[in-house]
């Protein structure tokens, strides 16, 4: 670590001390002395680093965070195919938002950024299941190693809160019942396995180094600005172009559909009230089979089942996901968006913004650019 980074990190260790008073338990860091600069840092307004903040969920979360209070937000995004400046829109003119183009695998850049923030909300990830079948290594690199690099910086810089955003897919399929946060991790696909591994790494930094980590696991999100590789925008955009859609298997796979704004409300609650070392399921949306979801989309677009063809089921297509979200309800969480109204609003957005579909689809077999772990991307 450079002398500059070391100085910044020492100055920022006050975040750990402040966190101790908030959650009511002591944290002892061996060999760290709080300087006068560190004590003065208490007067700073909250500064939140959001990784993946130009993506679908990330951009919605940044919007909510800036509207909630006077927090300063820095977005760190690599602007891969799923991240776009347009997702942030009018927020780009907000003086409390800073946008940094860079990769979470760039250790020096990550450390410089973490050192000047009081909290990290980590959303940057490879997230499309189908692509993980072809590029599992890229998922492991980004989701596991990238998370570890962020956690290392959080440990050295004494971050006040680290919210690691995960998925219900780490629990694997449940034919009945609902997974609590203590349920075993049983991922069945490379994407989910990489997220489960990152969850375990994150929690290990809490137990070993006392990094104040919280983990959230949400169900399937939907809403405006989602990349059209995911089922709702994929089906909507294809139908709007008068193209057929393919339903895997018998269409009986069950998913819980949660509007992105409800997920972001849960993320904000965990950021502000979540207890370090705890995991919070964020659910409460509407359970639908894929066939039922398809029917709703067809009805909204006033078209028929003749546009649908049934295709061979996807490999390792988990039959059902389900979570118990009573734990986060104790923090005051409750989903507010109904599926019918929110789905209609989402479809309207894709109808009104055809220029935002590009790239319309990405070939999952196409090569992904190699990651340079020694990149020195500037701020």
The predicted pLDDT at position 330 comes to 96
Q: How many CB atoms lie within 10 A of CB 225?
A: 21
The predicted pLDDT at position 115 comes to 97
**Cα–Cα dist 82/86, whole Å:** 11
How does pLDDT run across 93-104, given as a tens digit for each residue?
Answer: 999 999 999 999
356 located within any domain: no
Q: With contact defined as beta carbons under 8 Å apart, do 228 and 235 qualify? A: no
Q: Count of alpha carbons within 13 Å of 373, Cβ hemisphere only?
A: 6
Task: Copy the structure tokens of residue 238.
Answer: 């294809």
229 located within any domain: no
User: Which of 69, 27, 52 minimizes the C-alpha distance to 272?
Assistant: 69
* Lookup result for tokens 């800073």: 98
Going by their DSSP bridges, the two strands 220-222 and 245-248 should be labelled as unpaired
Residue-level length of the chain: 379
**Cα–Cα dist 16/117, whole Å:** 12
Q: CB burial class (10 A; 0-12, 13-18, 19+) of residue 291?
A: middle
102 located within any domain: yes
The predicted pLDDT at position 45 comes to 57
Domain of residue 104, residue span: 3-223+259-287+320-336
Rounded-to-5 percentages of helix, strand, coil across the chain: 45, 15, 40
**Cα–Cα dist 143/197, whole Å:** 8
Phi, psi values for residue 309, rounded to 5°: -120, 145
The predicted pLDDT at position 300 comes to 96
Helix (H) or strand (E) holding 97, with range, is strand 97-101
247 located within any domain: no
* Residues in contact with 192: Cβ distance below 8 Å, sequence separation at least 6, in sequence order: 129, 167, 169, 170, 172
Pick out the chain residues at pLDDT < 70: 1-45, 128, 130, 132, 358-379
341 located within any domain: no
Beta bridge partners of 101: 77
Whole-prediction pTM value? 0.83
The CATH number of the domain holding residue 96 is: 3.40.50.720
**Cα–Cα dist 209/338, whole Å:** 41
Domain tally for the chain?
Answer: 1
The predicted pLDDT at position 40 comes to 31
Q: What number of H helices and E strands is found in the chain?
A: 14, 12
Q: Which residues are catalytic?
A: 168-169, 191
**Cα–Cα dist 296/344, whole Å:** 9
105 located within any domain: yes
67 located within any domain: yes
Q: With contact defined as beta carbons under 8 Å apart, do 257 and 222 qualify? A: yes
The predicted pLDDT at position 80 comes to 85
**Cα–Cα dist 74/88, whole Å:** 12
Task: Copy the structure tokens of residue 128.
Answer: 């499309």
How does pLDDT run across 281-315, given as a tens digit for each residue?
Answer: 999 889 999 999 999 999 999 999 999 999 988 88
63 located within any domain: yes
User: Which of 181, 78, 188 minimizes the C-alpha distance to 129?
Assistant: 188
């Amino acid at each position: 670590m450079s002398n500059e980074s070391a100085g910044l990190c020492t100055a920022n260790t006050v975040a750990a001390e402040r966190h101790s008073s908030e959650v009511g338990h002591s944290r002892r860091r061996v060999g760290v002395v709080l300087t006068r600069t560190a004590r003065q840092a208490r007067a700073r307004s909250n500064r939140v680093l959001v990784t993946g903040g130009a993506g679908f969920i990330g951009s919605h979360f940044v919007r909510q965070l800036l509207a909630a209070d006077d927090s300063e937000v820095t977005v760190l995004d690599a602007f891969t195919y799923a991240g776009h400046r347009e997702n942030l829109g009018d927020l780009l003119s907000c003086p409390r938002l800073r946008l940094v183009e860079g990769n979470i695998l760039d250790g020096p850049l990550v450390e410089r950024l973490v050192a000047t923030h009081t909290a990290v909300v980590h959303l940057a990830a490879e997230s499309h299941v189908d692509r993980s079948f072809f590029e599992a290594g890229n998922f492991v690199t980004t989701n596991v190693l990238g998370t570890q690099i962020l956690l290392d910086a959080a440990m050295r810089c004494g971050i006040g809160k680290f919210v690691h955003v995960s998925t219900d897919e780490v629990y694997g399929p449940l034919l009945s019942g609902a997974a609590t946060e203590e349920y075993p991790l049983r991922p069945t696909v490379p994407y989910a396995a990489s997220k489960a591994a990152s969850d375990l790494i994150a929690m290990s930094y809490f137990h070993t180094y006392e990094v104040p980590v919280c983990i959230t696991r949400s169900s399937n999100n939907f809403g405006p600005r989602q990349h059209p590789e995911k089922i709702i925008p994929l089906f909507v955009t294809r139908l709007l172009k008068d193209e057929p859609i393919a339903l895997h298997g018998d269409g009986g796979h069950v998913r819980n559909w949660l509007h992105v704004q409800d997920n972001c409300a849960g993320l904000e609650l965990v950021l502000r009230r979540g207890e370090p070392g705890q995991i919070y399921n964020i659910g409460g949306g509407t359970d639908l089979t894929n066939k039922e979801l398809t029917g709703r989309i067809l009805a909204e677009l006033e078209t028929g089942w003749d546009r649908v063809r049934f295709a061979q089921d996807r490999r390792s297509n988990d039959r059902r996901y389900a979570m118990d979200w009573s734990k986060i309800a104790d923090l005051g969480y409750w989903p507010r968006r109904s599926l019918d109204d929110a789905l209609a609003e989402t479809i309207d957005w894709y109808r009104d913004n055809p220029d935002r579909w590009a790239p319309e689809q990405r070939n999952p077999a196409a090569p992904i650019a190699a990651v340079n772990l020694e990149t020195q991307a500037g701020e």
